[in-house]
Amino acid sequence: MVKRKCFISFKTEDMDYKEEIAKLDLDLIDKSLKEPINSEDEDYIMRKIREDYLKDSTVTIFIIGTKSNEYLGWTEQKYIKRELQASLFNGEGNSRNGILGIVLPTMYDSIYRGQYECTECEAKHTINYVNIDDSTTIKEFNYNYYFPNNGNCCYTENDRYCVLVKWGDFILKPSDYIEKAFEKRGSDLAKKVKVRP
């Protein structure tokens, strides 16, 4: 399997997990946005982040921990929000990255909420309830995971741009999940991506 160049977006509280990923046999870009880019031009900011931090990357790994949600606000989340925005940005001289969200064990119960019976479909079936919203992730991830108004009552993997995996599953087969995120770049779903939801 071809190695994809990956950028990791994470909160400092989750540094141990970032370091565990760095020990794997992956092609990683080991840079993080630490200083704001001094401009009001959003396209310029996205281009600078792509050029200076995400250059040549094709997949962004977003580590989802207890401090990775929208409710903490712009000031607290500005760096990971900008990193994901730049990853989703499809502009001159770059193409958007695939996005792989890795759910840390501390978030399993908040995100993976069990099963329920769908009552909206003609065919009754069981659905796994995955709680991806502002309370669990930043908007740049959750919007592109559950596209609004998709016309279906149930989402499938073919309705999502972002890929989601539990830490325990990722660590067993990291290249498989990275490849899955990479392949989304060429799908029709890429046309629905919103950089700043």
In a domain, 85, yes or no: yes
The number of domains in the chain is 1
In a domain, 197, yes or no: no
pLDDT (tens digit per residue) in 88-110: 988 776 789 999 999 999 999 99
Residue 182 has what pLDDT?
96
Cα separation, 42 vs 37, whole angstroms: 10
In a domain, 129, yes or no: yes
Give me the chain's average pLDDT, please. 87
Residue 151 has what pLDDT?
59
List beta partners, residue 63. 102
In a domain, 143, yes or no: yes
Which 8-state DSSP code applies to residue 47?
H
pLDDT (tens digit per residue) in 148-160: 765 566 777 778 9
Q: pTM for the complete prediction?
A: 0.89
Domain hosting residue 182, numbered range: 5-192
In a domain, 118, yes or no: yes
